[in-house]
Chains A and B, each alone.
Chain A
Amino acid sequence: MKNTIEERKATVASLLKVYPEKTAKKRARHIIVKETPSCESGDEACKSSCPIKSNVKSIPGVMTARGCAYAGSKGVVWGPVRDCVHLSHGPVGCGYYSWSTRRNLAQGKPGVDNFVPFQFTSDFQERDIVYGGAQKLEQIGREIRQLFPEAKGITIQSECPIGLIGDDIEASARTMTEELKVPVIPVRCEGFRGVSQSLGHHIANDTVRDYVLGKGELAESTPYDVAVIGDYNIGGDAWASVKILEEMGLRVIALWSGDGEIETMKVTHKSKLNLIHCYRSMNYIARHMEEAYGIPWMEYNFFGPTKIEASIRAIAARFDDSIRKKGEAVIEKYRASMDSVIEKYRPRLEGKKVMLYVGGLRPRHIIGAYEDLGMEVIGTGYEFGHADDYQRTMNHVKDGTVIYDDVTQYEMDELVKYLKPDLVGSGIKEKYVFQKMGIPFRQMHSWDYSGPYHGYDGFPIFARDMDMAVNSPTWKLVKAPWEKA
């Protein structure tokens, strides 16, 4: 192992040589090879010296995969809330490109009480840039109210020009809230703020705190009320997760924010325990509820049976015996079917090596699901992780694993060529690069238009999809017979 670690370190160092010196020096701090001892949770000394640099500005011109604060707010946190109209405020592009591309499934009738698969835009023109967009914004509010009477709120998702021209959307929002009699929420998520999507998550969380949380009353409370925070219901993930929690005897009073509703988000402060799936994008609001309302929160992981079972037990431990018993019963109920999934797919996937490069929680959370299938994650990294994400990751990966932060397309290409994984899991921008190289690939933001991958409903689909990617007979066609050596 020592040799492997040293060899990998040397390779990482050599692939950075192509950069200009200053860039190489900066990038060297974003790619590491895991070796013990490493950060264990609770080890404060180690935490403060987390060996990988993260959450800093991307370097110009290197082809980062990162997006922007608008993507973090409109695309991730607010966009899936189905009973509100989310206005992409500014020119047409941002809303167009993020229109229905994250697969946040939602109930309700589109245009009546579900506004997720829409692109609402103020379509700024040059005159709006010059004269400001306040009047237009207020007119838009009236039109939304008239055409979509069942919308329970309006969020103003600011695009770059709003902040640059100095429009006071907070003032407009106050006026509009008064006139329209629905909450109008100004979100300062201009794309130039921060260094990635991450600040957009934080800004969106803050607006939930300021404009939504605590504004509603729960008709009836039970000791088993929980909220699911940070599940975006991609391909139905949240529904698969809620199913487990309900079978455990818990009552999910709010979903944040996949298939979410502002009406239930308002009462989240009545939750007895906040369950956080995507820590990165929603830890802020969980921490706030802990401070302001004393609501405890915990992270959980519903990827793959091993992690699901551990999470069920950890969640149940926060409640009484009846929940603990039901939790065990849930585990028992699904074990046979999970075993049969593993029995079917493990022989086809055993020992296969995986490299991940995703966002949010997945670079660490999904490792257990691969391990359930006998697969090994040899490289992983975050688009927009912070030090606390990397600290949490260290406990999930083996020595020798290459860990990369805000990896550039060039670095990822070179790392893949060197580490030769059997499967790469990343995003749409990476997918076809690796497929052209003949390397099996799954999009791990959108589940490649499949899913859910969460919960007991998700694992059989996850297993099937990974098998399909790695073992597709089409890979045998890549070389023409007359070219084969």
Chain B
Amino acid sequence: MKTEEWINTEEYRELNFARKALVINPTKACQPLGAFFCASGFENTLPYEHGSQGCTAYFRNNLSRHYREPFPAVSDSMTEDAAVFGGRANMIEGLKNAYSLYKPALIAMCTSCMSEVIGDDLKAFISNAKDEGAIPKDFPVAPAHTPSFVGSHLTGYDLMLQGIITTLGEEHFDASKKTDKVNLIPGFDAHVENIRELRRYLEMMGVDVTVLADNSETFDSPLTGEYHPYLGKTTLAETADCVNAAATVSMQAYATPKTLADFKGKYEQQVAAFNYPLGVGGFDAFLTRVSELTGKPIPAEITSERGKAVDAATDAHPYFHGKRFALFGDPDLMLGLTAFLLEMGGEPVHIVSTNGTKKWKKEMEALLSSSPYGASATVYPGHDLWHMRSLLMTDPVDMIIGNSHGKYAARDAGIPHVRIGFPIVDRVNLHRYATLGYRGAVNLITWIANAFIEEKDRTSDDAHFELLR
């Protein structure tokens, strides 16, 4: 048998799933990408990597490719001599240059493999830099340890967020000065329009919200003829005060465990964690919880918007019902998409997440077993897109949903591919559309239903090529 045919067989699938060491086309990136992403949501904040310069070049170009926006960030360019002597001199010089050149109000400092393997002492070096006058004594530098060999971009997001909140907020914590505010953590969300949507809903409810952190302008800024390097919208003052909020809500539980633990334990807040609550039911649960936490009712205008999403779902349900889906990406995205598809009558079949854990698998399985439409699904934590290809070729589905990297498997399987997640580097402007909220639900419903319809038009013979679909 030709190799070309063999790689589509059951036999190959078994060999492929017997892999123990090799990872092929994973659905995860590494920690500092998430750290940089997180940092970019804070006011006048410069993301800074203590380590080799190539990493920063990669984070910047990957973020810019997805969002088609600038992404300023620096590294302290450690080279072989730093491998021998440590990166202290690089950090002191790097902080001095970055501070005088780019005039940030906060430096969000993460590490790379290199500085972690040689064991650089981040906090001591920052303190040395201040002692030597490289940066003012009172200038905030928020540290996060983010080597690529631990966790994924989600862990890096969590650690950077925790580092910034600790640096700016810890000393402001005062249990007697609780505010009515709610902290909202979007997580590593490829679709930054969601942040604006979430703000809009919470404003309609009259909830005073601090978004940690709001990079919606960073990744979707107007073209005016002027370039502004710092577009993070979360002010450092409100970040300092976030420790005294009444409650904190995370939209991505798997991107925020450490930060949420601090809010719950250290800062004595009520916390709620969601798994990227897509679809009508997901968002209902989110709003209901926010209402419980704040005592604010959900206004009629939101109910009306909800009704429109339900109308859109009802109009489009024939295009979903009984369709089989393959899904891949971050753990929260998988939970959110699965819940959404189940609510539409779609059937998730293959669900792959390289950074998914055993705990995540259990959570997925509980969700799937809550609906008859979840019966044909299998959940694959720690697997990759080459596993996914075998699944698609041996147990076909009607559509794959995930980031741009799914396009090769989709092509081989001959199925439509709807792009949700990070990175999307082969379609324009999708990050400008919300996926969360009732309007986000309408977007998702529309993209998926129309992709099926376009596929039908593209593959119909003349006799079956109809005006009405």
**B-contacting residues of A (Cβ < 8 Å)?**
18-20, 23, 57-71, 87, 90-94, 96-99, 101, 109-113, 117-126, 128-129, 136, 139-140, 143-144, 146-147, 149-150, 159-161, 163-165, 191-195, 197, 408-410, 413, 427-429, 431-438, 478-479
In angstroms, Cα B112 to Cα A23, docked, is 24
For B16, give the chain A residue with the smallest CB separation. Answer: A147
B79 close to A101 (CB less than 8 A): no
Most chain-B CB neighbours within 10 Å: which of A59, A71, A427, A479?
A59
For A477, give the chain B residue with the smallest CB separation. Answer: B223
A120 close to B24 (CB less than 8 A): yes
In angstroms, Cα B32 to Cα A19, docked, is 27
| Interface segment out of the listed B47-55, B298-306, B334-342, B448-456 | B47-55
Q: Is B72 an interface residue (CB 8 A)?
A: yes
A432 close to B22 (CB less than 8 A): no
Contact A428-B64, Cβ < 8 Å, known A63-B72, A122-B23: yes
- Picked from B77, B82, B83, the residue with its CB within 8 Å of the CB of A58 is B77
Sorted nearest first, the 10 A-B pairs with minimum C-beta distance are A68-B54, A93-B30, A60-B94, A61-B94, A91-B148, A97-B58, A61-B97, A60-B76, A61-B98, A438-B225
A112 close to B58 (CB less than 8 A): no
B101 close to A19 (CB less than 8 A): yes
- Picked from B53, B148, B408, the residue with its CB within 8 Å of the CB of A68 is B53
By a CB distance below 8 angstroms, the chain A residues around B62 are 97, 101
Kindly identify, within residues 96 to 121 of chain B, every residue whose CB is under 8 Å from any CB belonging to chain A.
96-102, 112-114, 117-118
A71 close to B57 (CB less than 8 A): yes
A93 close to B15 (CB less than 8 A): no
For A98, give the chain B residue with the smallest CB separation. Answer: B58
Q: How far is the CB of A452 from chain B (nearest CB, A)?
A: 19
A59 close to B64 (CB less than 8 A): no
For B12, give the chain A residue with the smallest CB separation. Answer: A147
Q: How far is the CB of B46 from chain A (nearest CB, A)?
A: 9
By a CB distance below 8 angstroms, the chain A residues around B7 are 111-112
In angstroms, Cα B29 to Cα A123, docked, is 10
Q: Is B138 an interface residue (CB 8 A)?
A: no
B79 close to A165 (CB less than 8 A): no
A436 close to B54 (CB less than 8 A): no
By a CB distance below 8 angstroms, the chain B residues around A435 are 223
By a CB distance below 8 angstroms, the chain A residues around B223 are 435-436, 438, 478
Contact A18-B101, Cβ < 8 Å, known A143-B20, A438-B225: yes
Told that A57-B79, A60-B94 touch, could you supply 11 new A-B pairs with CB distance under 8 A?
A18-B100, A23-B96, A60-B76, A60-B97, A66-B54, A91-B148, A94-B148, A97-B61, A111-B7, A164-B118, A436-B223
By a CB distance below 8 angstroms, the chain A residues around B16 are 147
B405 close to A99 (CB less than 8 A): yes
Contact A71-B54, Cβ < 8 Å, known A112-B3, A429-B71: yes
B149 close to A164 (CB less than 8 A): no
**A-contacting residues of B (Cβ < 8 Å)?**
3-4, 7, 12, 15-16, 19-26, 28-33, 48, 51-55, 57-62, 64-65, 68-80, 82-83, 90-91, 93-102, 112-114, 117-118, 147-150, 152, 221, 223-228, 386, 389, 405, 408, 425
In angstroms, Cα B70 to Cα A66, docked, is 16
26 A-B residue pairs with CB within 8 Å: A18-B101, A20-B97, A60-B75, A62-B74, A63-B102, A68-B55, A91-B147, A97-B61, A98-B58, A110-B408, A113-B3, A118-B24, A123-B23, A139-B22, A140-B21, A140-B22, A147-B15, A147-B16, A160-B114, A161-B113, A164-B83, A192-B52, A192-B80, A193-B79, A436-B227, A479-B224
A91 close to B3 (CB less than 8 A): no
In angstroms, Cα B52 to Cα A90, docked, is 15
In angstroms, Cα B83 to Cα A111, docked, is 37
Q: How far is the CB of B194 from chain A (nearest CB, A)?
A: 21
By a CB distance below 8 angstroms, the chain B residues around A117 are 408
- Picked from A23, A150, A192, the residue with its CB within 8 Å of the CB of B3 is A150
A144 close to B54 (CB less than 8 A): no
- Picked from B12, B98, B227, the residue with its CB within 8 Å of the CB of A437 is B227
- Picked from B52, B95, B118, B225, the residue with its CB within 8 Å of the CB of A61 is B95
A479 close to B114 (CB less than 8 A): no
For B24, give the chain A residue with the smallest CB separation. Answer: A120
In angstroms, Cα B51 to Cα A165, docked, is 16
By a CB distance below 8 angstroms, the chain B residues around A60 are 74-78, 90-91, 93-94, 97
By a CB distance below 8 angstroms, the chain B residues around A20 are 96-97, 100
In angstroms, Cα B114 to Cα A306, docked, is 47
Contact A19-B97, Cβ < 8 Å, known A63-B72, A193-B79: yes
Q: How far is the CB of A317 from chain B (nearest CB, A)?
A: 40
For A436, give the chain B residue with the smallest CB separation. Answer: B227
In angstroms, Cα B12 to Cα A399, docked, is 63
For A66, give the chain B residue with the smallest CB separation. Answer: B53
Contact A23-B97, Cβ < 8 Å, known A67-B57, A129-B149: yes
For A433, give the chain B residue with the smallest CB separation. Answer: B70
A61 close to B58 (CB less than 8 A): no
By a CB distance below 8 angstroms, the chain A residues around B152 are 92
By a CB distance below 8 angstroms, the chain B residues around A436 are 70, 221, 223-228
B52 close to A59 (CB less than 8 A): no
By a CB distance below 8 angstroms, the chain A residues around B95 are 61
B4 close to A194 (CB less than 8 A): no
B53 close to A143 (CB less than 8 A): no
Most chain-A CB neighbours within 10 Å: which of B28, B77, B147?
B77
A59 close to B97 (CB less than 8 A): yes
Q: How far is the CB of B182 from chain A (nearest CB, A)?
A: 33
Q: How far is the CB of A98 from chain B (nearest CB, A)?
A: 7
A109 close to B4 (CB less than 8 A): yes
B22 close to A61 (CB less than 8 A): no
In angstroms, Cα B408 to Cα A144, docked, is 19
In angstroms, Cα B152 to Cα A46, docked, is 51
B224 close to A478 (CB less than 8 A): yes
For A137, give the chain B residue with the smallest CB separation. Answer: B21
For B389, give the chain A residue with the smallest CB separation. Answer: A111
B33 close to A93 (CB less than 8 A): yes
B70 close to A432 (CB less than 8 A): yes
- Picked from A64, A125, A150, the residue with its CB within 8 Å of the CB of B149 is A125
- Picked from A69, A93, A192, A410, the residue with its CB within 8 Å of the CB of B78 is A192
In angstroms, Cα B21 to Cα A144, docked, is 10
In angstroms, Cα B52 to Cα A91, docked, is 14
By a CB distance below 8 angstroms, the chain A residues around B112 are 160
Q: How far is the CB of A85 from chain B (nearest CB, A)?
A: 9
For A109, give the chain B residue with the smallest CB separation. Answer: B4
Q: How far is the CB of A204 from chain B (nearest CB, A)?
A: 15
By a CB distance below 8 angstroms, the chain B residues around A97 are 29, 33, 58-59, 61-62
Contact A432-B64, Cβ < 8 Å, known A19-B101, A60-B75, A92-B152: yes
By a CB distance below 8 angstroms, the chain B residues around A68 are 52-55, 57
In angstroms, Cα B87 to Cα A60, docked, is 10
By a CB distance below 8 angstroms, the chain A residues around B227 are 413, 433-434, 436-437
Q: How far is the CB of A104 from chain B (nearest CB, A)?
A: 15
Contact A70-B148, Cβ < 8 Å, known A61-B95, A140-B22: no
In angstroms, Cα B99 to Cα A410, docked, is 13
By a CB distance below 8 angstroms, the chain B residues around A479 are 224-225
By a CB distance below 8 angstroms, the chain A residues around B147 are 91
By a CB distance below 8 angstroms, the chain A residues around B226 are 436-437
By a CB distance below 8 angstroms, the chain B residues around A110 are 408
Q: How far is the CB of B126 from chain A (nearest CB, A)?
A: 13
Q: How far is the CB of B132 from chain A (nearest CB, A)?
A: 12
- Picked from A67, A109, A191, the residue with its CB within 8 Å of the CB of B114 is A191
A143 close to B22 (CB less than 8 A): yes
A62 close to B101 (CB less than 8 A): yes
Q: How far is the CB of B392 from chain A (nearest CB, A)?
A: 13
In angstroms, Cα B98 to Cα A18, docked, is 11
By a CB distance below 8 angstroms, the chain A residues around B224 are 436, 438, 478-479
A120 close to B22 (CB less than 8 A): yes
For A383, give the chain B residue with the smallest CB separation. Answer: B57
In angstroms, Cα B95 to Cα A109, docked, is 48
Q: How far is the CB of A163 from chain B (nearest CB, A)?
A: 8
By a CB distance below 8 angstroms, the chain A residues around B3 are 112-113, 149-150
